[in-house]
Chain A
């Protein structure tokens, strides 16, 4: 008898507990002002980012340094890219956001337009000394004149190569002048001269980043400043055809092999020694270094075939930090943000993992003890200085969904369910429909 009643008590306690956690969420649902509790004080801060184990370790140790300095506790909430955005939208909808969050160029505009982020202008220049960062980079976090996010570092497109595979095929690391048609021939040659299952290139048919670079080389963009498509269906068709022919010629893996891959770094051809080239961002160089024994090479994405076309590269401000407008203690959040971006001692804990640090003094503090991969990455990005083009306008909110359509229609074409022309046309219509909605 006593046993049963105790179990009931426990059950009741669990339900009460569940109810209690539900309560603030529900209470907050009705609150449209997004005020947060405003209590602040000495409580714990929450800092959320997306990343990988390496980034999580580096970020945690940087945050620990800040905690020791200021005596404030920080609860860190790392997640992978996809789970991170699911969690952020849910927390924002429940008016329970972290105090400091990592942001991406892809989502910034939408968050700002929905009033989810705090304007940071009151905190410039103290503690946010933005003069240490190139003006273009700062402005990429500015919307309608107000500053909402600051970039931690920047990247650029990088054609990363496994030089071991290149050597096996008797080929040389190309320089920045290789064109798309030369790259096609090179990839096919590597495919022929290496054993089955080893390819010249990664299959990038469904990847919008190299497609963007390829568009920029033709004087186009993915989107206009007002969020419309800035290319034609014919461009998509030509892009799909380039890769369909590459698959056919044995220069890159089939659509089927590509569909099976999870896309995780360790699953890609270059670190697995099954591919000579991969289309990626420059900050990935250090990760590839850790994953393979082979030497890694890097160059710009292939160039446009018509002479004199721009190289399509730009400096992408890679990871932003922003303070949600519902943060419980914005002052402290901005202070932590400032430490992670500007404080040479704390920010250097992060290394090059989030790209080349945006702030000059942080870069200088890191320079003396760079690892080989970090030096390669830094040299590549610095080599492009003066050659990169303007930063494209921020993508519209539907970009994530449009990207998935791009992947879907490239698969429809790749598996032969649709002709390349139909797939390109249907993608184009679908993308326009999503932008109108």
Chain B
């Protein structure tokens, strides 16, 4: 354990050993208060985090209505989910939400980050302004605002009507003027996707930092070689940012799988109309507390864990084909 700088002679061996023992004792003495101070954290971890997690694993194999005590039911909860039309709806809605909103939100963050990466006057104001939505976005207030904006008499429809665009949309997309975007199951999920895309602030900041790290000489030499802005972006900036793109996609995906608040507020907690905004977590919450079926809800939570793990692993597998780290040399 102790690294020796010179081979100890037979004389001072005993002394060395005594000294080492003293050190160990001292270290142990120091360690005691460390554990004491860490105790509350460990208590929190086991009692408030690990405990409930393990309890939910147990509940997922029981029939538990929260009022009585849980009774063992084996795999019934998992099997029951297969019959549940709303469970299938919630899976579909969540997958669409993740697959559509995460790439779009990441792309929006990257685009805005590139636009804001220069050193123009007042750039700080712009950056703050674009970051603002992600501070507000997860909040109940914004979700309530979303109801107002996308309602039948909301801001969107008023603007469309005032500009006459509603008739153009009616012709091109077959959408009746005055449609309630949140009241119609065809469009309700789209409003939530837009809400998620709008909150690109956090990935944008990460991209901004990444863009600053890109060596200017690479961009300059590419420019000397005759690469235009677009080529420089796709040939230099994008590959060098790919680890950050990957990072943001993974984080965005996980948080999109777990999205709850916007759908809860916009749909009044029901995931309607006709299940069109029934996020997985929303259905889980309703199953646990509204339908008092904690067993099935726990089973859903564990399936969600597996789904997120599989998707994340899948992304890591694809990463080696498109993510370049600085120390890798790519030969063609």
B40→A260 contact, CB < 8 A: no
A400→B290 contact, CB < 8 A: yes
Expressed in whole angstroms, the minimum distance between the Cβ of B186 and any Cβ of chain A is 8
A6 close to chain B: CB less than 8 A: no
Point out the residue from B47, B273, B291 that lies within 8 Å of A256, measured CB to CB: B273
B37, B179, B185, B275: most-surrounded residue (chain A CB, <10 A): B185
A259 to B182, CA, bound (A): 8
B69→A18 contact, CB < 8 A: no
Seen from chain A, the residues whose Cβ lies within 8 Å of a Cβ on chain B are 8, 12, 15-16, 18-19, 22-23, 26, 32, 82, 85-86, 89-90, 92-93, 110-111, 114-116, 255-263, 397, 400-401, 404, 407-408, 411-412, 415, 417, 426, 430, 433, 437
Seen from chain B, the residues whose Cβ lies within 8 Å of a Cβ on chain A are 37, 40-41, 43-44, 47-48, 51, 65-69, 80, 83, 85-86, 151-152, 179-180, 182-185, 268-270, 272-275, 286, 289-292, 294
A110→B67 contact, CB < 8 A: yes
For residue A426, which residue of chain B has the nearest CB?
B85
Query: What are some 8 contacts across the A-B interface (CB < 8 A)?
Result: A15-B41, A18-B44, A26-B47, A256-B184, A258-B183, A260-B151, A400-B290, A411-B185
Q: A32-B69, A256-B180, A411-B272 are in contact. List 11 more A-B contacts (CB 8 A).
A: A12-B37, A19-B43, A22-B47, A26-B47, A256-B179, A256-B273, A260-B182, A408-B86, A415-B184, A415-B274, A426-B85
For residue A259, which residue of chain B has the nearest CB?
B273
Residues of A within 8 A of B183 (CB): 256-261
Point out the residue from A26, A92, A407 that lies within 8 Å of B67, measured CB to CB: A92
A19→B179 contact, CB < 8 A: no
A257→B180 contact, CB < 8 A: yes
B43→A89 contact, CB < 8 A: no
Expressed in whole angstroms, the minimum distance between the Cβ of B287 and any Cβ of chain A is 9
Residues of B within 8 A of A404 (CB): 270, 286, 290
Interchain residue pairs A-B with the least CB separation, the first 7: A260-B183, A259-B273, A114-B67, A15-B40, A411-B274, A86-B289, A93-B66
Expressed in whole angstroms, the minimum distance between the Cβ of B40 and any Cβ of chain A is 4
Classify the interface of chain B: helix, strand, loop or mixed: loop
A261 to B184, CA, bound (A): 12
Residues of B within 8 A of A110 (CB): 65, 67
Residues of A within 8 A of B48 (CB): 18-19, 22
Expressed in whole angstroms, the minimum distance between the Cβ of A7 and any Cβ of chain B is 13
A426 to B68, CA, bound (A): 30
For residue B65, which residue of chain A has the nearest CB?
A114
Expressed in whole angstroms, the minimum distance between the Cβ of B176 and any Cβ of chain A is 9
Expressed in whole angstroms, the minimum distance between the Cβ of A203 and any Cβ of chain B is 12
A430→B85 contact, CB < 8 A: yes
A183 to B328, CA, bound (A): 77
B272→A407 contact, CB < 8 A: yes
Residues of A within 8 A of B151 (CB): 260
B47→A415 contact, CB < 8 A: no
Residues of A within 8 A of B182 (CB): 260
A93 to B67, CA, bound (A): 6
Expressed in whole angstroms, the minimum distance between the Cβ of A21 and any Cβ of chain B is 10
B289→A89 contact, CB < 8 A: yes
Given A18-B48, A22-B48, are A89 and B292 neighbors across the interface (CB < 8 Å)?
A: yes
B291→A400 contact, CB < 8 A: yes
Point out the residue from B40, B274, B275 that lies within 8 Å of A16, measured CB to CB: B40
A223 to B183, CA, bound (A): 31
Residues of A within 8 A of B86 (CB): 408
A82, A259, A437: most-surrounded residue (chain B CB, <10 A): A259
Residues of B within 8 A of A15 (CB): 40-41, 43-44
For residue A9, which residue of chain B has the nearest CB?
B37
A437 to B80, CA, bound (A): 9
B68, B69, B274, B286: most-surrounded residue (chain A CB, <10 A): B274
Given A430-B85, A433-B83, are A408 and B272 neighbors across the interface (CB < 8 Å)?
A: yes
Expressed in whole angstroms, the minimum distance between the Cβ of A419 and any Cβ of chain B is 14
Expressed in whole angstroms, the minimum distance between the Cβ of A107 and any Cβ of chain B is 9
Expressed in whole angstroms, the minimum distance between the Cβ of B218 and any Cβ of chain A is 42
A86→B185 contact, CB < 8 A: no
A263 to B268, CA, bound (A): 9
A158 to B251, CA, bound (A): 52
A210 to B53, CA, bound (A): 43
A258 to B272, CA, bound (A): 11
Residues of B within 8 A of A408 (CB): 86, 272, 274-275
Expressed in whole angstroms, the minimum distance between the Cβ of A208 and any Cβ of chain B is 15
Point out the residue from A263, A417, A426 that lies within 8 Å of B185, measured CB to CB: A417
B37, B151, B184: most-surrounded residue (chain A CB, <10 A): B184
A85 to B83, CA, bound (A): 26
Point out the residue from B68, B152, B185, B273 that lies within 8 Å of A115, measured CB to CB: B68
A114→B180 contact, CB < 8 A: no
